[in-house]
Chains A and B, each alone.
Chain A
Amino acid sequence: QKEVEQNSGPLSVPEGAIASLNCTYSDRGSQSFFWYRQYSGKSPELIMFIYSNGDKEDGRFTAQLNKASQYVSLLIRDSQPSDSATYLCAVMDSSYKLIFGSGTRLLVRP
């Protein structure tokens, strides 16, 4: 059973701080990794994807991938109250299916 693990949180950070969200996966053959954001009562939306080891930056968001450690993270700089949501880590398997983690709830305190 392929697994994607996340700490459920909540992770509480003050406004303007860096929020660090982590994810581990079990399938060593996974090649593609994704972060989705889900506001309460809404559907998920893609915010980042990463394929290669290292960092990928997009605005205030940075995704980090370490395939040797089977570890993916998402950093949110200058966190805003509007970033308060659940962040879902997802891993694509060889059949083009996305396997989701259970999500980490982020709370940004004004």
Chain B
Amino acid sequence: NAGVTQTPKFRILKIGQSMTLQCTQDMNHNYMYWYRQDPGMGLKLIYYSVGAGITDKGEVPNGYNVSRSTTEDFPLRLELAAPSQTSVYFCASSSHISYTGELFFGEGSRLTVL
């Protein structure tokens, strides 16, 4: 039972490089989210999606892009990496967000930009 799978788990980028964080869920959830968590801080919403083909900005979308071509996949793209994007990134999904608020999180992707 995989749940939400994120890859890679760790990555070091140089300033200006680009990369994609992959997120896949096998629970047939409509809602998917990307959060970032800086050390000692809470989660900040980057982008979210309520279904395939639909995405919207969260609290901190600048420097990121997303797509949702299928129900299962929700990749996060960093175009020009900056040191301020050093963080732990969590992908999450939910089927009943409006009822229980329960998000199922991936294990996180730790990104360092040098």
Instruction: Select which of B31, B45, B103, B108 is within 8 A of A46 by beta carbon.
Output: B103
In the complex, B74 has a CB within 8 A of chain A: no
Count B-side interface residues using an 8 Å CB cutoff: 25
Shortest Cβ gap from B57 to chain A (Å): 10
Count A-side interface residues using an 8 Å CB cutoff: 24
8 Å CB interface, A59-99 against B:
88, 90, 92, 95-99
* Per-position binary interface string of chain B over residues 91-108, scored 1 when its CB falls under 8 Å from any chain A CB and 0 otherwise: 000000110111101111
CB pair B101–A90 under 8 Å, yes or no, is yes
CB pair B102–A46 under 8 Å, yes or no, is yes
Shortest Cβ gap from B85 to chain A (Å): 19
* Per-position binary interface string of chain A over residues 37-74, scored 1 when its CB falls under 8 Å from any chain B CB and 0 otherwise: 00000111110010000000000000000000000000
CB pair B108–A43 under 8 Å, yes or no, is yes
CB pair A98–B45 under 8 Å, yes or no, is yes
CB pair A97–B107 under 8 Å, yes or no, is no
* B residues apposed to A, CB below 8 Å: 31, 33, 35, 40-45, 48, 50, 56, 58-59, 90, 97-98, 100-103, 105-108
* A residues apposed to B, CB below 8 Å: 1, 4, 6, 8, 32, 34, 42-46, 49, 88, 90, 92, 95-103
